[in-house]
Amino acid sequence: MLKYTSIILFLLSKLCFAQTIDDAGTNYSNQYFESEISDAQKLITELMAENGIPGLSITVAKNDNILWAQGFGFSDLENKIPVRLNTKFRIGSISKSLTSLALGKLMEEGKIKLSDTIQKFVQYFPKKKYPITIQDVASHTAGIRNYNYSKGEYFSDKSYNTVEESITIFKKDSLLFQPRTQYGYSTYGYVLLSAAIEGAINQSYLDYMQDSVFTPLKMSHTVPDFNNRIIPNRTRFYQQNNGIIYNASYVDNSNKWAGGGFISTSLDLARMSQILLKYEYLDESTLKTLWTNTTLANGEKVNYCIGWRKDKDELGRSYIHHGGGSIGGRSFLLIYPDEELTVSITCNIFSRFNESFVLKIAEIFIK
């Protein structure tokens, strides 16, 4: 009897243990996952070497616990400052996932509906040939254009003081297609969504994100990437050309807070995911709505939901994910809802790793 009791206690201890994680440290490892962590460390080291990544942070969480969190390399190459668990990276389009949570909260409060038209909340956005709904914009099926790369919009260094001001970039442009007939990824669509959020609450988008999203989700290291502010533990940003690493080009992300303007830590993203999976922030039905694949007018389904993507792996297991690419940053967040497993990765250079790599990491810890 004593033998079986010891086995049960050991198994429980793998998932139920008191955690003390020093966010200012460089590494946290659950001792019961040493083998898995070692395998994952090898993959990360290979990825960084192959892609010339100066600094990277990864967090793996399961159920209520962080299994592994570690910083690799440097957040500042010139001063040889190592990546720590509180190092803030540009998360690019994962900002859209965070914006979707704000939308979900307002849906639960009855302040906004997916079927509402944009003009209900954003009267300064001109009507187009076809009506546009909140769901159209949030699922990238509204026909709102993306960056005009030839005009340098992706590399914008202009500062915009308000969401309304940033919308002047695209407000006069025609739709690319009739809403719901196609899928067309658009960061500007999420800028328009943030304007709708402001109209629904009579509060600035950034203030609402802090008060109603980041604070209750305990995301203490997630903030807008203001260039003119001193932000503790913000990494330096890099780019690579012919194998040589340079400081990244100066950009100002105030033209796209909701679609790609936040900085965060891998630990913040993982902890946020844990709270979501326990339905402590959004109701299960709301989260299910955000994580449901979009259906076009012709019945075709796309893998984009509302601020998230949903796919299945080779074994048929569903996973939720979103990546983020930015000047001087690459990030990825992957969640297996049924397994309650999360993997989040952030780094300080644009790199083309995607979910295929992150799935390898996840598989190590699912086994």
Contact indicator for 143, 189 with CB cutoff of 8 Å: no
Nearest-CA neighbor of 339 among 365, 304, 310?
A: 365
CA separation (Å) from 290 to 100, 258, 286, 307, 310?
7, 16, 6, 7, 10
Tens digit of each residue's pLDDT (9 = 90 or more) over 318-347: 999 999 999 999 999 999 999 999 999 999
Percent of the chain at pLDDT exceeding 70: 95
Residue in 365, 338, 355 with CA at minimum distance from that of residue 35? 365
Amino acid 205 reads Y
Backbone phi, then psi, for 247, in 5-degree steps?
-65, 140
Using only the alpha carbons of the chain, give its radius of gyration: 21
Per the document, the length of the chain is 367
Compute the distance between CA of residue 248 and CA of residue 236 in angstroms, rounded to an integer.
Answer: 8
Q: Which domains does the chain have, with CATH numbers?
A: 36-366 (3.40.710.10)
Average pLDDT for the chain: 94
Q: How far apart are CA 353 and CA 339, in angstroms?
A: 23
> pLDDT by residue (tens digit) across 197-228?
999 999 999 999 999 999 999 999 999 999 99
Residue with tokens 């969480």: 61
Tell me the pTM.
Answer: 0.94
- With H, G, I as helix, E, B as strand and everything else as coil, classify residue 283: coil
